[in-house]
Amino acid sequence: MYFGSDNQAGVSAAIMQALVEANQGIAAAYSDDEWTHRARAAIADWFECDADVHFVSTGTAANCLALACSLEPWQIALCHGQAHIINDELTAPEFFTGGARLLGLDAQAPKLSAITLGHTLSQGSAHPPHNAEPAVLSLTQLTESGQVYSLEELRELTDIAHQYGLIVHMDGARFTNALVSLDCSPAEMTWRVGIDVLSLGATKNGAMTAEAVIFFKPSLAKKFVHLRKRSGHLLSKSRWISAQFLAWLKDDHWRELALHANQQARQLSAGIAEHPKCRIVWPTQGNEVFAVMPKALIQSLRDQGGIFYEWTPSFVPAEQRVREHEAMVRLVCSFQTKPCEVVQFIDALHRVK
């Protein structure tokens, strides 16, 4: 009954086979191999535009290099108060950008609101150059609370950001989980709603280690190859990331993987919601389930083999207030989550009243 993290899942058989097949003979290094050329073209085609595509091995590198290309060291990147870049990437964003500041907004809500963004930007900088000014808006899709920004919400946020001259970055570590939830195209969830640069993650959705930075505004990419090299993230044997992306995209394999993870999460969420002492914190829109449970019940589930994380209750809605005898938990499904694991977990849950 493993619901710890999609980062801890294995590699899909199709992607592993692609790595084996790529391991034949000699190939050019430093992104000049045939796999990388084909993967860059395939991703641009997937997004239905002439995007500038580059590969790295980690999500932190993807996010931070995207930010470093988009703002100056004396500027600010706005993000949700619980965003990965501000809470879970140490000071990597500051390091990669040369000292740019991150400002978190709406930490008590599951998503950043257009009202908050508009109010923040309308305040302006009273005394330039004495005050740092916002230059980037970073949005996470899925959010850290497992929520999906609708296309309308994305458009509203990007319109406000662009009105004030900001570049809009999307952290897409769980991009495909959001994509299948909205049932839209990659283009519709990115550049067509105003996203300028995307960190696209495949690692959480079946790949071994495969992340891409995709510039929908090619002018933003002019520093990328130098910053990637300077930061130590230019792989010499680049075909290994590219081969993963080619297999991930082939026959919409990414969709099969993400759909399965989302479906298992919905089943798990429904089963938890039926327990009289449990409550779901936010609607399950992707592959993550957030719930409040009695601590004794959590311990019982762990004793029966359940693996999952307790989560910070600091941004739980007021009506979902976590009481002293309770705790908030996060359960994550992946492409490897077996339906029988979900059934087993729900059965174990309902054995304790």
Among residues 20, 288, 319, 12, the alpha carbon closest in space to that of 173 is found at: 288
pLDDT given for residue 265 in this prediction: 99
Q: Tell me: domain 12-251, CATH 3.40.720.10, correct? A: no
Residue 319 contacts by C-beta under 8 Å, 6 or more apart in sequence?
Answer: none
Q: Where are the alpha helices (DSSP H) in 183-306?
A: 224-230, 239-249, 253-273, 295-303
**CA-to-CA distance for 11 and 204, rounded, in angstroms?**
9
pLDDT given for residue 126 in this prediction: 63
DSSP symbol at 310: E
pLDDT given for residue 138 in this prediction: 99
pTM score, whole prediction:
0.97
Q: What's the alpha-carbon Rg for the chain, to the nearest Å?
A: 21
Q: Cβ distance 8 to 240 under 8 Å?
A: no
CATH superfamily of 254-350: Aspartate Aminotransferase, domain 1 (3.90.1150.10)
Q: Cβ distance 168 to 189 under 8 Å?
A: no
DSSP symbol at 2: B
Residue 100, CA atoms < 13 Å, CB-side half-sphere: 27
State the first-to-last Cα distance of the chain, in angstroms, to the nearest integer: 19
Residue 187 contacts by C-beta under 8 Å, 6 or more apart in sequence?
Answer: 47, 48, 49
**CA-to-CA distance for 128 and 28, rounded, in angstroms?**
48
Give the orientation angle of helix 253-273 with respect to helix 339-350, to 10 degrees.
10
Among residues 189, 208, 212, 206, the alpha carbon closest in space to that of 257 is found at: 206
Query: Which residues of the chain are in CATH 3.40.640.10 domains?
Result: 12-251
* Coil/strand/helix, residue 167: strand
Q: How far, in Å, are 112, 303, 323 from residue 312 at the CA level?
A: 18, 22, 13
Q: Tokens for 152, please give them.
A: 């309308």
Query: Which residues of the chain are in CATH 3.90.1150.10 domains?
Result: 254-350
Instruction: Print pLDDT tens along the chain (353 aa).
Output: 999 999 999 999 999 999 999 999 999 999 999 999 999 999 999 999 999 999 999 999 999 999 999 999 999 999 999 999 999 999 999 999 999 999 999 988 899 999 999 999 998 766 778 889 999 999 999 999 999 999 999 999 999 999 999 999 999 999 999 999 999 999 999 999 999 999 999 999 999 999 999 999 999 999 999 999 999 999 999 999 999 999 999 999 999 999 999 999 999 999 999 999 999 999 999 999 999 999 999 999 999 999 999 998 777 777 778 999 999 999 999 999 999 999 999 999 999 87
